[in-house]
């Protein structure tokens, strides 16, 4: 896309000296889970599989591996249901090796465990976001992580838009650092898309992280041209519909963002960019409702109901816009697809993206899980492990995690 940032020159993974050294690998294992307590399981392991080439290469090169990731948003506190236990289990199955999981992120026990780790052995740290210093990019927490290693590899493309301690703090402190193979592959694939964009460009956005992604959407709109389109579903659409004066009942909306939604409408109108919103919604009494009622947006959502998916007329409208796209980027499910009653809109969009003849890119933990569930993943040109990260990349923003690898080299 015109004006997009080029990726900076990065050090090489192959040149990094890892032989018998403690290598801290930041990955994005923020994967969808189901169940509670000991019954928790990973429902989509795409992000874990995507990091395997880097981990296997390091094992072959006799590195002593310390793997770390965030999982969900525990906000600096220990939340048992967000422990890395199920992730360690799945990683161990995939690598066919034992994984050691200490019960904390940093501390004396972790230091001892890491120092006792031999070449080819793997420690997975507890959820980085159990520590308040991670999201605050606290220098002391970054130092504690840096002390655990001799070299640092960032393979967490999906978290590279977060200026957090494990993403930007550690590479500033550990001289021997490099992007992992997944990070390099993502930057290459997305860079090529952004440099040679075929139009019309259709951005399909949904999901629940409205406040995170709305600013990016405003900026993205400024880069679009006449006949490009932004298609909006999921909880994201609720706030846009409210900004247009629709009645949303008990649906998830973010009133503080109404002005921002209006900016998207104004910028899009000024550039002849189409903003496509749902015209009908599937509603229920709760996220786990076992039946859905289709409501026309013009009639409004009843007070005791929540919009949990786009409706059938919206599916058809969205599919028709997507099918005309020469480049289609999709991030964020159209509804609460984890409940089969509210999965139809997301599945319809997955099929439309897969069937469109243009270049297709799908990103995001839940979006890729939904795409996998639809059985159409093989029909997509590039599946990115990054949701917010790929959206920011496509919008042309510099990703702090990538800049940190380049500048502190």
Ligand X SMILES: O=C(O)[C@H](O)COP(=O)(O)O
Considering only the stretches 18-26, 137-145, 158-166, 237-245, report the one whose residues sit in contact with ligand X under the rule CB under 6 A. 158-166
For ligand X, give the closer residue by CB, 358 or 363: 363
Q: Give the ranges where 3-138 is alpha helix by DSSP (H).
A: 46-60, 85-95, 108-116, 132-135
Residue in the structure block whose two tokens are 């070449």: 119
Contact set for ligand ATP, span 246-305 (CB under 6 A): 252
Q: How many DSSP H helices and E strands does the chain contain?
A: 15, 16
**Phi, psi (rounded to 5 degrees) for 179:** -75, 150
CA distance 281 to 294: 6
Candidates 74, 85, 86, 158: give the one binding ligand X (CB under 6 A).
158
Does residue 358 touch ligand ATP according to CB under 6 A? no
The dihedral through the CA atoms of 72, 75, 76, 82 has a sign that is: negative
Residue 365 annotated in active site: yes
Buried b (16+ CB within 10 A) or exposed e, 50-75: bbbebbebbbebebbbbbbbbbeebe
Of ligand X, ligand ATP, none, which one does residue 162 interact with (CB within 5 to 8 Å by kind)? ligand X
> Cβ-closest residue to ligand ATP?
387
Q: Which residues contact 192 (CB under 8 A, 6 or more apart)?
A: none
Partner residues linked to 306 by β-bridges: 284
Could you say whether residue 338 binds ligand ATP (CB under 6 A)? yes
- Choose one: 113-121, 157-165, 295-303, 304-312; the region binding ligand X (CB under 6 A): 157-165
Among 28, 44, 131, 392, binds ligand X (CB under 6 A): 28
* Residue 179, contacted partner among ligand X, ligand ATP, none, CB below 5-8 A by kind: none
Angstrom distances, CA of residue 130 to CA of 31, 82, 112, 136, 396 = 16, 9, 20, 12, 31
Q: How far apart are CA 307 and CA 249, in angstroms?
A: 8
Footprint of ligand ATP on 189-208 (CB under 6 A):
206-208
Exactly one of 233, 387, 400, 401 binds ligand X (CB under 6 A); which one? 387
- Does the annotation list 70 as a binding residue? yes
Q: Which does 207 bind (CB under 5 to 8 A by kind): ligand X, ligand ATP, none?
A: ligand ATP
Based on the residue annotation, tell me whether 326 is a catalytic residue of this protein: no
Residue 333 binding ligand ATP, by CB under 6 A: yes
Residue 22 falls in the annotated catalytic set:
no
Handedness of CA 343, 344, 349, 350 (dihedral sign): positive
Helical (H) or strand (E) element with 293: strand 293-296
Q: Is 375 annotated as a binding residue?
A: no
Catalytic positions: 47, 209, 365, 388
Residues forming the site for ligand ATP (CB under 6 A): 206-209, 234-235, 252, 307-308, 331-333, 335-336, 338, 364-367, 387-388
Residues forming the site for ligand X (CB under 6 A): 28, 30, 73, 158-159, 162, 209, 212, 365, 387-388
């Amino acid at each position: 896309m015109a004006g997009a940032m080029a990726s900076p020159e990065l050090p090489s993974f192959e040149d990094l000296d890892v032989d018998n050294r403690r290598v801290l690998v930041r990955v994005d294992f923020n994967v969808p889970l189901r169940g509670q307590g000991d019954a928790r399981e990973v429902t989509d392991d795409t992000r874990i599989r995507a990091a395997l080439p880097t981990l296997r290469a390091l094992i072959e090169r006799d590195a002593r591996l310390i793997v770390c990731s965030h999982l969900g948003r525990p906000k600096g506190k220990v939340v048992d249901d967000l422990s890395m236990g199920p992730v360690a289990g799945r990683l161990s199955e995939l690598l066919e090796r034992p994984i050691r999981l200490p019960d904390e992120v940093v501390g004396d026990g972790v230091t001892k465990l890491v120092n006792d780790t031999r070449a080819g052995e793997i420690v997975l740290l507890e959820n980085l976001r159990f520590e308040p210093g991670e999201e605050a990019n606290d220098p002391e927490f970054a130092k504690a992580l840096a002390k655990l290693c001799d070299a640092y590899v960032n393979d967490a493309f999906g978290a590279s838009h977060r200026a957090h301690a494990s993403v930007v703090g550690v590479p500033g402190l550990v001289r021997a650092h490099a992007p992992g193979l997944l990070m390099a592959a993502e930057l290459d694939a997305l860079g090529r898309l952004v440099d040679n964009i075929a139009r019309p460009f259709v951005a399909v956005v949904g999901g629940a992280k409205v406040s995170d992604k709305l600013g990016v959407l405003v900026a993205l709109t400024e880069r679009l041209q006449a006949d490009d389109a932004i298609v909006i579903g999921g909880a994201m659409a609720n706030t846009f519909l409210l900004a247009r004066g629709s009645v949303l009942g008990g649906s998830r909306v973010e009133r503080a963002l109404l002005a921002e939604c209006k900016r998207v409408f104004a910028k899009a109108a000024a550039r002849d960019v189409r903003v496509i919103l749902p015209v009908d919604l599937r509603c229920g009494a709760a996220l786990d409702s076992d039946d859905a009622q289709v409501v026309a947006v013009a009639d409004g959502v009843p007070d005791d109901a929540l919009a949990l998916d786009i409706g059938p007329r919206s599916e058809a409208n969205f599919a028709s816009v997507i099918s005309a796209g020469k480049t289609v980027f999709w991030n964020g499910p159209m509804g609460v697809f984890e409940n089969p009653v509210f999965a139809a809109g997301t599945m319809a969009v997955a099929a439309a993206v897969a069937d469109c003849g243009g270049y297709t890119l799908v990103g995001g933990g839940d979006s890729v899980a939904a795409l996998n569930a639809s059985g159409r993943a093989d029909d997509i040109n590039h599946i990115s492990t990054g949701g917010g990260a790929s959206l920011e990349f496509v919008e042309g923003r510099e990703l702090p995690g990538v800049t940190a690898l380049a500048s502190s080299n």
